[in-house]
Amino acid sequence: MNKQIPLIAIDTVSDPEGTTSLASHGGEVNTQKIVSQSLYASRKKIYVRKITGFFQKIRAYSLTILLLMYFTFCWFTVGGEPLILFDIDARKFHLFGAIFWPQDFTLLAFALIISAFGLFFITSLFGRVWCGYSCPQTVWSFMFIWLEEFFEGSRNQRIKSDKSGLNLQKLLRKTAKHLSWLLLALATGITFVGYFIPVRELIADIGSLSLTSSWAIFWIIFFTAATYINAGWLREQVCIYMCPYARFQSVMFNENTLIVGYDKQRGEPRGSRSRQEIKSGLGDCVDCQLCVQVCPTGIDIRDGLQYECIGCALCIDACDSIMKKLNYSTGLIRYASEKEFETGKPQRKFDAKTIAYAALVILSVSIFTLLLIQRPLLELSVMRERGALYQENGMGLIENFYLLKVINKKERAEKYILYIENIDASLASKNLLKVGPGEVKNFPISVVMDPTNISEPAMEIRFKLQEVNQEHASVTVNSKFLGPINDW
């Protein structure tokens, strides 16, 4: 029996061939191979195998609904107004029958906060369900994969075709595939711009070749190229290297979060067998590699939880199809928590982090709802004329000039009466203001005051704008009235 001499000191010595010697002074010498891995690996084409199953039916429904929403919502109208339109030039945003303005930025901020906390809450409970079923990168990638299968055939046919030399049939198939990708990408780009420019006008201009907006042309080309490259060529590279969500998702995970995982206690040791043959000592995994072949990111789920996994459940449907053929129980690969895989028992508990996310979602939604209900439909801002303090008119009165900016957020024209409160001053201009539906209108006005009533060089003046038809629909804004000090 060989006796091992205890190591006293260990030095690490590397040779040019990449081996490292652990040399001990007065002890043994062990040699091991260093395995270095780059932070970025060149893309190897992944040939995704087609599979059907329960979760793929769910994805088919979700993808259909999301694509229909994306390509049709820009065409719908409510009361003659677009259902969704972000009109940058007019600085107004149509959302489901309501018109929002840049002044409503607080609402947008809370909407984004709700989306963020909602995503955190869903992730802490159900893992990367967003990535697997709703993410635009996933939606368009699966559409591109479907077109690829339609024109080039099954996984084995695509592998065989890529290994073979160029021929007419291969050229025609690949040309048709890329043309279909480009057409889908172009439709995506035009639709995206259609949410910022009225889509009917946009399509009419494109059809008549009279599209003159350089920005519209730029963004159509940009999103066409981005869709074609991301969904057609990069695919899983976007999820692995470009998407920040893949990196920080682990912060939201806990031992009770649902993940797509492999039951090692049941599946190991793995080994192949026929339907009639049951080898003693082997687990349920037959090592068919089907779970790897269907994975859109090219990982082996049996190696454990990996950040590349987008939770698409393709491997679950693939494994279940094999289990059914062998008359084994399904669920060797399934949605379950990490604790459930360890203990073998269902574990569904809400930890403090999940409860905190839920509370933040409820709080954000409550604040957003309150702000939305109390959103004023009339806004007024007052600016003094720049470069002028005051002037004395021909009647000996002190005159100040202001610019009133009135925003009517209603869908009908309104008339307003302008009052001056809290000081003895009067309007030198008309006090009846008319503003069209959804219009932002500027009114230059002048205010005059008897110098005998001026007690301070800068007196507070309050403007009140009231809707003619509704006494309670009003808004007040304070400003300053400048004048000479009365020494009488």
Domain count, the chain: 3
Name the percent of the chain in helix, strand, coil, to the closest 5: 40, 20, 40
What are the tokens at 206?
């494109």
Domain annotation covers residue 30: yes
Same domain, 337 and 398: no
Write down the residue that tokens 């009533």 correspond to: 453
Angle at 91 between CA 210 and CA 185, to 5 degrees: 50
Strand partners, 463: 420, 477
Residue type, 381: S
Domain annotation covers residue 59: no
Q: How many helices (H) and strands (E) are present in the chain, helices listed first?
A: 15, 19
The chain-wide mean pLDDT, for the chain, equals: 87
Sheet holding 19-24, edge to edge: 10-14, 19-24, 29-33
- Residues 161-209: tens digit of each pLDDT: 999 999 999 999 999 999 999 999 999 999 999 999 999 999 999 988 8
Report field, pTM of the whole predicted structure over 0.85? no
- Residues 378-425: tens digit of each pLDDT: 999 999 887 778 899 989 999 999 999 998 888 789 999 999 998 889
Same domain, 303 and 386: no
Domain annotation covers residue 295: yes
- Residues 225-235: tens digit of each pLDDT: 999 999 999 99
Would you say residue 5 has pLDDT above 60? no
Q: What percent of the chain has pLDDT over 90?
A: 61
HSE-up of residue 286 (Cα within 13 Å, Cβ side)? 21
- At residue 299, the pLDDT reads 95
What are the tokens at 260?
């797509």
Residue with the bigger pLDDT between 103 and 466: it is 466
What are the tokens at 313?
């459940």
Strand partners, 459: 481
- At residue 40, the pLDDT reads 66
**Three-state secondary structure call for residue 12:** strand
DSSP secondary structure letters along 408-423? E-SSS-EEEEEEEESS
Write down which residue in 295, 326, 343 finishes a domain.
Answer: 343
Write down which residue in 293, 321, 343 finishes a domain.
Answer: 343
Domain boundaries, position 428: 378-482
Task: Round to whole Å and give the CA distance between 310 and 161.
Answer: 28
Residue type, 308: E
Same domain, 420 and 333: no
- Residues 316-370: tens digit of each pLDDT: 999 999 999 999 999 999 999 988 998 888 766 778 888 999 999 999 999 999 9
User: Exposure string (b/e) for 79-113, b if CB count within 10 Å is 16 or more?
Assistant: eeebbbbebeeeebbbbeeebbbeebeebeebeeb
Neighbours of 470 (CB within 10 A): 10
Same domain, 274 and 321: yes
- Residues 234-265: tens digit of each pLDDT: 999 999 899 988 878 778 888 889 999 999 99
Same domain, 269 and 315: yes
Domain annotation covers residue 241: no
Rg (the chain; Cα; Å): 34
Name the nearest CA neighbour of 402 among 378, 381, 371, 376: 381
Domain annotation covers residue 123: no
Alpha carbon of residue 3 to chain centroid: 62
Same domain, 299 and 390: no
Domain annotation covers residue 249: no
Per-residue CA distances from 151 to 51, 227, 431 (Å): 17, 19, 70
Would you say residue 25 has pLDDT above 70? no
User: Exposure string (b/e) for 374-392, b if CB count within 10 Å is 16 or more?
Assistant: ebeebbbebebeeeeebee
Sign of the CA dihedral with 79 first, then 83, 85, and 91 last:
positive
